[in-house]
Amino acid sequence: MLLAMAWRNLQRHGRRTFITAAAMGISVAFVMAMLAYVDGMYRKMADVMINQTTGQLQVAHPDFATQRTMYDTVPDAAARLKTVAALPGVRGASARLYGFALLGGAEQTAGAQLVGVLPEQELELVPMRDRMVSGAWLAPDQTDQIVLGEGLAETLEVAVGDQVVAVTQAADGSLGNALYQVVGVLTSGSVTLDRTGAWLRLKDLQTLLVLPDQAHEITLLSDSLDSRAGDPIVSALVKTVRAALPTDEKHPLSVRPWWVVSPATASMLATSDASAWLILVILFLVAGLGILNTMLMSVFERTKELGVMKALGTRPAKIVQLVLWESLLLSGLACLGGLVLGGVLDWMLVNWGLALTTSSGDRLSTGGVLFDPRIFGVVRADRIVVTVLTLLCVAVVAALWPAFRAARLRPVVAMRDE
């Protein structure tokens, strides 16, 4: 009966109920859409900053991540890569070799960060083909090809079809130099890399640097879609890979998850997560104030009626219950509407994506990493459950004060109220 009363009380002021519920429902819908967007952005950031940069886990010389010395390599890279690539739970594996070189076009020269890659395997980690501004990605069976970052190509004033010279100090102290054919120009997703990055076959870079069959990293992807430090799937795979790669003193190897390789990335992703929750808090504060206002008004209007109820012997706890039921019903209604609307928004975000353009340009940049502006939503059930539960909790909390106010009414005083 209490529930029926609560329900009818809401109907009594249909328009007010509708407006409050609509406001809350829209909040829910927007929170859902925002979370889907933010999660989509995480996915993208994680993709760019983890998967495409460090990989989810990495096999490397223990000092390479911090020192980045040319000599801190993984020896017998081909064999080791084969071993780890065959492990269960490895979704992608590639080996990379890095080196600094002076690149020269016909007129201009510039320092470049060379990345030696396995053209096919690299595609499992990074969608290089989608990033080509012109030309094509490295052909696995062609030697002496190079793909340049957009900015670098501009600096060198070269285009697809041109040749560039690379000069570097090789591992044996000699002056390594080679001529490469520019086959492609790409935009890597990172501002810095676009300006300095150049990709060539692992084999070619090994030759240039005189580092035969060596790599600086074996980069792996797991099945995890998570972007939080301590991700259990990645942690488990780290153990598997460690077990599969015996190391000796002469060739020390470390197997590290991305959050150890790049703590800065981890803290950045964590910060974005925190800011998403901040938005939630603000939105729900607004929703909470809406409920508070509605319930206070409703209680205030019904002073006399509540006084009668108390005079008849209604216990205060029952009055509190009645008010809380009203609030819960109201927000439950709002949730239902919000879920429907939010579902529609989520569907649009997932299927169509949303391109937020910044005032400065058409790309989104976070911490020096450029993103494709179109972000596709990622819908997570746990997020929706949390959203709904949060709203219901807010509904209860916001209604507590009006409820207690109503419960404390003194019948004689209340009934005299006109």
Partner 1 sequence: MRLLNVALLGLFLTATSASAAETTAETAASDPSITELLDAADDVQRGDHSHATLEMQVKTAHYERTMKMETWAEGTDKTLIRITAPAKDAGVSTLMVGNNIWNYLPKVDRTMKVPAGMMGGSWMGSHFTNDDLVKESRMSEDFDGVITQKPAADGTGQWLIELTAKPDAPVVWGKVLLAINIDKLPTKIEYFDEKGTLVRTMLFTDIQDVQGRQVPMTMTLLPADKPDEFTRLTYLDIDFDTEIPSNIFSLQALKR
Partner 2 sequence: MNATPIVTVKDLTRDYQQGTITVRALRGVDLDIATGEFTALMGPSGSGKTTLLNMIGGLDEPTSGTVIIDGQDLNSLDRGQRSDLRLHRIGFVFQSYNLIPVLSAVENAEFVLMLRGLPAAERRARAVETLAAVGLAGMENRRPSELSGGQQQRVAVARAIASKPALVLADEPTANLDSKSGHELIATMAKLNEELGLTFVFATHDPKVMNAARRVVWMEDGKVQRDERK
Name the residues that contact partner 1, by CB under 8 A: 71, 102, 104, 109-111, 165, 167, 169-175, 177-179
Rule CB under 8 A: say whether 12 interacts with partner 2: yes
Restricting to residues 280-319, name those near partner 2 by CB under 8 A: 304-305, 308-316, 318
Contact (Cβ atoms closer than 8 angstroms) between residue 287 and residue 27 = yes
CB-based burial label for 398 (10 Å; 0-12, 13-18, 19+): buried
The distance of closest approach from Cβ of residue 328 to partner 2 in the complex, given in angstroms and rounded to an integer, is 17
- Measured from the CB atom, is 146 or 238 closer to partner 1? 146
The distance of closest approach from Cβ of residue 212 to partner 1 in the complex, given in angstroms and rounded to an integer, is 14
Query: What is the rounded CA–CA span in Å between residue 381 and residue 395?
Result: 21
Restricting to residues 30-59, name those near partner 2 by CB under 8 A: none
Backbone angles phi, psi at 49, to 5 degrees: -85, -25
| DSSP code at position 356 | P
Rule CB under 8 A: say whether 411 interacts with partner 2: yes
Pattern 317-346, binding to partner 2, x per CB under 8 A?
Answer: -x----------------------------
Q: Which does 254 bind (CB under 5 to 8 A by kind): partner 1, partner 2, none?
A: none
The distance of closest approach from Cβ of residue 11 to partner 2 in the complex, given in angstroms and rounded to an integer, is 8
The distance of closest approach from Cβ of residue 204 to partner 1 in the complex, given in angstroms and rounded to an integer, is 13
Residues 6+ away with beta carbon under 8 Å from 189: 48, 52, 131, 369, 370, 371, 372
Contact (Cβ atoms closer than 8 angstroms) between residue 154 and residue 91 = no
Q: Which does 83 bind (CB under 5 to 8 A by kind): partner 1, partner 2, none?
A: none
The distance of closest approach from Cβ of residue 166 to partner 1 in the complex, given in angstroms and rounded to an integer, is 9
The distance of closest approach from Cβ of residue 82 to partner 1 in the complex, given in angstroms and rounded to an integer, is 27
- Measured from the CB atom, is 179 or 412 closer to partner 1? 179
Parallel/antiparallel/unpaired status of strands 92-104 and 57-60: unpaired
Residues 6+ away with beta carbon under 8 Å from 301: none
Contact (Cβ atoms closer than 8 angstroms) between residue 212 and residue 53 = no
**Which positions lie near partner 2, rule CB under 8 A?**
1, 4-5, 8-9, 11-12, 304-305, 308-316, 318, 411-412, 415
